[in-house]
Structure 1
Amino acid sequence: MESPTDMSFPHVLVTSCRELLTLAPRVPFGQERSREARRPGRVALIGGLLMVLSLGLWVLWTYLGRRDMWHMLDLSVYHDAAHEFRHGDDIYTENYGSWTNKLPFIYPPISGLLFYVLLPLGFAGLKWFMAIVNLLSLFAVVWSAWGMLGYRRGAGRFGVSAATFAVVLWLEPVEWTLVWGQVNLLLLALIVLDLGLPDSRRYKGIGVGIAAGLKLTPAIFIVY
């Protein structure tokens, strides 16, 4: 846990740079973590019902419009590249995907290895697997965010997290991530959960490292 009175030069330098980059002060994780929603049981019930309703509507909408919602072009690039990797081909010299205009595989080798391990699922199974991973990642993000806002673990935090999940599920960035079968929500969860850890934790940074191994963009958080 960070000490709020730590005025050492390294601490002040890092904190100042962090505030300049984010344009907002950072409250150390673990400080003033005593908030709790009023009537946590009722909040948990209402939030849980909203989340189930939202998920049910999303599944129904996905089923009714599955031609648009279920093609997952980006995921097909991962899958097809991993399939070619199994045959010993250089996955960085070909284009892949289920559309006429195929796309190159531009991700780190670890991504190819990960989807190579998932090949036994088949593409249909991989779609369901990736959708579930993305939905769980989204809930992990809102759960962690409420924790960093000061809400301790419990029924109340679950309730507000579930209600938030029910709303943000329908935001355009989330929807397009699910439509294209991207890994953005998984990367977001790895980064947010990692940044929410106290700076004193020795394993802090592993989540950012894994995210950068799956896609290069999250490597900016190594600098952060």
Structure 2
Amino acid sequence: MLIPYEPALVAGTLVQRYKRFLADIRLADGRELTLHCPNTGSMKNCGEPGSRVWVKLEQRPGRKLPGTWELVETLPGELACIHSARANSVIAAALTAGLIAPLTDYPVARREVTLTPGGSRFDFLLEGATGSCVLEVKSVTLALGGGVGAFPDAVSLRGQKHLRELTQLAQAGQRACLLFCVMHSGIACVRPADHIDPVYGQLLREAVAAGVQVLAWSIIPTPLGLEVAGQLPVLLQGEGSSQT
């Protein structure tokens, strides 16, 4: 299943990313534009000046910047989608199409749901005849080499909070699932980035022990669109055990 880009992306070269949400891009015709960088993370290994990139140019009333940075080539032939918000939209489309096998029992998907006062807002509440499942989606673009990807790419207090709450839900009997949306063509498995956020790694293992299901799904970025590929293994102990 390919989710196409509309309008089509335009190739360029990254000059620099700065102020978190801005990126200077040089297009093939020589123009240099300041575009929106839709990623709040560190973008470790995804923001090297001189990298080949693809952008979506949009001119419309009220828009401050003329486009959005979408893809980057991290290594020759390996692409990553740095537009982190696309993770939710592509997973929503995959759920509707029945492509995520462990979650096909839920025909209804409500988005951005808060279950308890003062609690986190989770990406999806899936509902069906067999019950419900709370689903949180995380975008993965940090490639460590050798086909291994990791999350998070910076210390994530928000991610830690999500794991604590998913663990509490699972302990209370609610089905809870964390899905790593892997938007990097060079990643074949995912593990917690203990070397970056050891607290997150420990909380992830505690969540699994409490019954939280952890999945990883490969989304292959191409200049034409995002392709829903299939399930990837999750390595809970780096090179150790996995959950699929």
TM-score of the superposition, structure 2-length normalised?
0.25
Structure showing greater radius of gyration is 1
Bigger helix share: 1
Bigger strand share: 2
Which one has more relative contact order, counting CA pairs under 8 Å at least 6 apart?
1
TM-score of the superposition, structure 1-length normalised?
0.26
